[in-house]
C-alpha cells in the first residue's frame, strides 16, 4: 500500500517586488567606534537620517535622497570607521505552492532518505541549537517541540512566532519538525531552534539586518546559522559578522540562489559561509540552482577558493514541510483503497466513484457519467480535459503524466470547471487503469510543498545539526569539512560547480567522524618527490615580485600557494611571478601543486 503524501501544483514565487515595496537604495551601514556610537547616531539624526539597526559596532540608517559619496562626506568624523551600502537580501524560494491537504499520519520527505538522516539518531542532550534567520515561524503549526524554540524580532517585522509568509515556517520544519506520529519529520527532529524574523511582509531585508541577526544568534547560544536568503553585492559588516560566528566555532549556511546562473549571491558567497545548492529526488541538479565559479579575478591574478562556490547540495525540489495552519491545500487519492501520491490541480472537494478511462479526454464521453475520469496527458490542455470530463457527467478527474515523475500543474487562470482534479505520476498508470473505484479529496492543510535552494539549505543545516549532535566535541568548521568529505558524488565526476562535493549524507559523515575524529584523520598531502620549486625576489620601480620556477608537474595547470592560500591557477610552463602589494620586508612560503590535487612540491620560503 502506498503512503498518501500531500502534494500540490507548484506556483512561481517571484523575487521581484512592486515599486511601492522596493528596498531603498539610500540606506547605509556605518561602522563606528563602539564607545562613540552615541555621538555618531546623534550626528546622523541631525543630518535627517532614520536609524534602523543599532548593532554591535555599527548602525544602519537611511539618508533620504543621498548617494554613498554624499553620506561619506556628511559623516567625515573620526569616530566613523566605514560607510557602505546596506545591501538588500531577499527570500529565495522560487517555486512555492500554498496548496496541500491535512495529514493524519507522519510522512518522511524524500530528502530525509536521500541525505541518510533517517539512519542517524538525533541526540537531544548534545546542546545543539540552530538559528534560523528568515520570515518567522508560525506558532499555529503544532508539528514542533515548542518548548525548545526561542526567538527575536527585528525592527519593523513583528513577532518572531507569527509568520511573515509561509517561507520561514517551511524552512524551520525541514530542520526540526518533530518525530511525533503526524505531519512531517525534520532532519534533526526536535532540535533547539532560535528564530530571528528579519523579513517584512514584502519578503526583503538588508545586510545590516543579517549582521545584527548573527550577533543575536551568537547571544542565543546557537551553533548553526541557517539562511535561505540572499542578494547581490558583498558587505563587509555582514561578512565580518558571519566570520566572527565561524571563528568562534560555529557553522553558517546560506542558499546559493535560484536564478540558474553563475552569479555569486551573498551571504552564501562569503568564505565563512557554506554555500548550498539544490538537487531533486533523482539526484539531478535543480535547474534553478545557481553555480558560481570557485575562481575570482583574471589572468595571473586569478585565485581559486572552494569556499565561495557551492560546497554540497541537498533535496530542494518539491520539498514537503510545515506551513502556517490552514495556509496550504492538499490532495489525497486512493485507488481500490490503496493510497496513491497525487498533486492537487484545482477545485476543492471530496468525491468517490467508479473509475472510467477516458483516454486523452479530447471529447465529451457519456460513459464517464457519474464516474471519476482517469485521463492520459497529451493532445489538449489540462483544463479542456477536465472540462470534457465534467461535461460528460464525471465527478472527478485524475490526469496521468506522460513522462516519469509527478504531474504538477494547474488548470489555468480561466478555470471554468468545478470537479476536483489531481495529477499523478506515470509510474502509477498501471495501478490506476486497473482500479475499479477511486476517492479524491482536496482541502486545506498545515503542510505543503516548496522548491528552491531555500529548501536545500535547511536540509543541510538539519543534517549538520544531526551529525554534530553525535560529535559535539567538534567545531563547526570540522562538521563542514566532514559533510564535504563524505558527500555522494553527483553530476560530473569529482567536485564541480553545480554539486560542489556532492549530495550531503548524514550517516556517511557520522561514520567518518566516528572512525577518524573531528579532524577527519587527515594525512598530510604528498610533497616533494620529483617536483621542484625555487624562488627569486625582484624589485622593479618600487614594486616587489617573487619569481617561481618549478618542474616535475605533469598536468596542464598548476595551483600556486602562498602562505597556505591558493593565490593562482596558472599554466604549467615552469614559471610564475607573484606580485606583492607591500613595501615591508616579510617572509613568504610557497608551494606548487597539480591543479585540483594534493600532489605538491615541498614548501620553499623567502624573506623579501
Q: How many CB atoms lie within 10 A of CB 47?
A: 13
Helix or strand run (H / E) with residue 402: none
Provide the 8-state DSSP code for 294: S
**Nearest of 339, 360, 353 to residue 419 by alpha carbon:** 353
**Nearest of 458, 452, 459 to residue 11 by alpha carbon:** 452
For the record, the C-alpha cell of 47 comes out as 543630518
> Mapping DSSP to helix (H, G, I), strand (E, B) and coil, where does residue 409 land?
coil
Answer for the pair 23, 204: CB distance below 8 angstroms, yes or no. Answer: yes
* Residue with cell string 482536496: 442
Give the Cα separation of 251 and 246 in Å (integer).
6
Answer for the pair 227, 169: CB distance below 8 angstroms, yes or no. Answer: no
- CA torsion angle 89 452 255 313 (round to 10): -170
Give the Cα separation of 251 and 461 in Å (integer).
9
**Nearest of 104, 94, 15 to residue 330 by alpha carbon:** 104
Expressed in percent and rounded to 5, the helix, strand and coil fractions of the chain are: 20, 35, 45
From the candidates 454, 461, 469, 601, give the one annotated as an active-site residue: 454
List CB contacts of 8: < 8 A, sequence separation 6 or more. Answer: 97, 98, 99, 100, 328, 329, 330, 331, 343, 344, 408, 448, 449
Answer for the pair 163, 439: CB distance below 8 angstroms, yes or no. Answer: no
Quote the radius of gyration of the chain (alpha carbons, Å): 27
Active site residue 454: yes
For the record, the C-alpha cell of 7 comes out as 502534494
From the candidates 167, 170, 212, 471, give the one annotated as an active-site residue: 167
Phi-psi region of 388 (alpha: psi -120 to 50; beta: other; left: phi over 0): alpha
For the record, the C-alpha cell of 585 comes out as 620586508
List CB contacts of 14: < 8 A, sequence separation 6 or more. Answer: none
> Mapping DSSP to helix (H, G, I), strand (E, B) and coil, where does residue 96 land?
strand
**Strand-strand pairing, 310-315 and 273-279:** parallel
Answer for the pair 424, 333: CB distance below 8 angstroms, yes or no. Answer: yes
Active site residue 167: yes
* End-to-end Cα, the chain, rounded Å: 74
Answer for the pair 375, 402: CB distance below 8 angstroms, yes or no. Answer: no
Helix or strand run (H / E) with residue 463: helix 453-470
From the candidates 86, 98, 101, 134, give the one annotated as an active-site residue: 134
Half-sphere exposure of 582 (CA within 13 A, CB side): 10
Active site residue 549: no
**Nearest of 214, 165, 162, 169 to residue 53 by alpha carbon:** 214
Burial of 360 (0-12, 13-18, 19+ CB in 10 A): middle
List CB contacts of 432: < 8 A, sequence separation 6 or more. Answer: 335, 340, 355, 374, 398, 400, 424, 438
For the record, the C-alpha cell of 119 comes out as 539512519
Active site residues: 134, 167, 454
Amino acid at each position: 500500500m502506498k503512503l498518501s503524501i500531500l502534494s500540490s501544483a507548484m506556483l512561481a514565487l517571484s523575487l521581484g517586488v512592486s515599486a511601492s515595496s522596493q528596498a531603498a537604495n539610500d540606506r547605509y551601514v556605518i561602522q563606528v567606534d563602539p564607545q562613540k556610537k552615541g555621538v555618531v547616531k546623534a550626528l546622523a539624526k541631525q543630518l535627517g537620517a532614520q536609524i534602523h539597526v543599532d548593532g554591535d559596532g555599527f548602525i544602519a540608517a537611511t539618508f533620504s535622497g543621498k548617494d554613498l559619496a554624499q553620506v561619506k562626506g556628511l559623516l567625515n568624523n573620526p569616530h566613523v570607521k566605514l560607510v557602505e551600502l546596506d545591501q538588500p537580501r531577499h527570500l529565495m524560494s522560487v517555486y512555492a505552492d500554498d496548496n496541500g491537504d491535512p495529514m493524519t499520519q507522519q510522512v518522511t520527505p524524500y530528502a530525509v532518505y536521500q541525505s541518510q538522516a533517517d539512519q542517524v539518531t538525533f541526540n537531544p542532550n548534545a546542546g545543539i541549537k540552530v538559528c534560523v534567520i528568515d520570515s518567522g515561524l508560525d506558532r499555529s503549526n503544532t508539528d514542533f517541540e515548542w518548548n525548545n524554540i526561542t526567538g527575536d524580532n527585528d525592527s519593523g517585522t513583528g513577532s518572531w512566532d507569527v509568520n511573515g509568509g509561509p517561507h520561514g515556517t517551511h524552512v524551520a520544519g525541514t530542520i526540526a519538525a518533530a518525530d511525533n506520529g503526524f505531519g512531517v519529520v525534520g532532519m534533526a527532529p526536535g532540535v533547539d531552534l532560535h528564530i530571528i524574523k528579519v523579513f517584512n511582509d514584502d519578503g526583503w531585508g538588508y545586510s545590516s539586518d543579517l549582521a545584527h541577526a548573527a550577533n543575536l544568534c551568537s547571544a542565543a547560544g546557537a551553533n548553526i546559522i541557517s539562511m535561505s536568503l540572499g542578494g547581490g553585492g558583498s558587505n563587509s559588516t555582514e561578512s565580518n559578522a558571519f566570520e566572527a560566528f565561524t571563528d568562534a566555532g560555529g557553522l553558517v549556511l546560506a542558499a546559493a540562489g535560484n536564478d540558474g546562473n553563475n552569479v555569486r549571491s551573498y551571504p552564501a558567497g562569503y568564505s565563512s559561509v557554506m554555500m548550498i545548492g539544490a538537487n531533486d529526488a533523482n539526484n539531478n541538479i535543480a535547474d534553478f540552482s545557481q553555480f558560481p565559479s570557485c575562481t575570482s579575478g583574471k589572468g595571473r591574478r586569478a585565485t581559486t577558493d572552494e569556499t565561495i562556490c557551492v560546497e554540497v547540495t541537498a533535496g530542494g525540489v518539491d520539498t514537503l514541510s510545515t506551513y502556517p495552519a490552514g495556509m496550504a491545500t492538499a490532495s489525497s487519492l486512493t485507488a481500490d483503497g490503496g493510497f496513491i501520491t497525487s498533486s492537487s490541480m484545482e477545485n476543492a472537494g471530496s468525491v468517490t466513484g467508479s473509475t472510467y478511462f477516458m483516454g486523452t479526454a479530447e471529447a465529451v464521453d457519456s460513459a464517464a457519467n457519474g464516474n471519476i475520469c482517469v485521463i492520459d496527458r497529451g493532445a489538449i490542455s489540462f483544463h479542456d480535459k477536465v472540462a470534457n470530463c465534467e461535461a460528460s457527467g464525471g465527478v472527478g478527474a485524475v490526469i496521468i503524466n506522460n513522462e516519469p515523475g509527478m504531474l504538477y500543474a494547474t488548470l489555468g487562470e480561466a478555470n471554468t470547471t468545478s470537479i476536483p482534479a489531481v495529477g499523478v505520476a506515470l509510474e502509477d498508470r498501471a495501478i490506476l487503469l486497473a482500479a475499479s473505484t477511486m476517492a479524491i479529496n482536496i482541502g486545506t492543510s498545515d503542510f505543503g510543498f516548496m522548491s528552491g535552494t531555500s529548501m536545500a539549505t535547511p536540509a543541510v543545516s538539519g543534517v549538520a545539526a544531526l551529525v554534530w549532535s553525535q560529535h559535539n566535541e567538534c567545531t563547526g568548521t570540522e562538521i563542514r569539512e566532514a559533510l564535504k568529505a563524505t558527500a555522494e558524488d553527483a553530476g560530473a565526476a569529482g567536485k564541480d560547480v553545480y554539486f560542489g562535493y556532492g549530495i550531503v549524507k548524514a550517516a556517511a559523515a557520522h561514520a567518518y567522524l566516528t572512525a577518524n575524529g573531528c579532524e577527519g584523520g587527515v594525512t598530510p598531502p604528498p610533497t616533494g618527490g620529483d617536483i621542484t620549486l625555487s624562488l627569486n625576489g625582484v624589485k622593479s620601480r618600487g614594486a616587489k615580485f617573487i619569481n617561481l620556477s618549478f618542474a616535475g608537474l605533469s598536468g596542464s595547470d598548476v595551483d600556486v600557494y602562498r602562505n597556505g592560500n591558493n593565490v593562482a591557477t596558472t599554466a604549467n610552463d615552469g614559471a610564475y611571478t607573484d606580485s606583492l602589494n607591500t613595501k615591508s620586508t616579510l617572509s613568504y612560503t610557497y608551494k606548487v601543486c597539480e591543479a585540483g590535487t594534493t600532489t605538491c612540491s615541498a614548501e620553499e620560503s623567502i624573506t623579501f
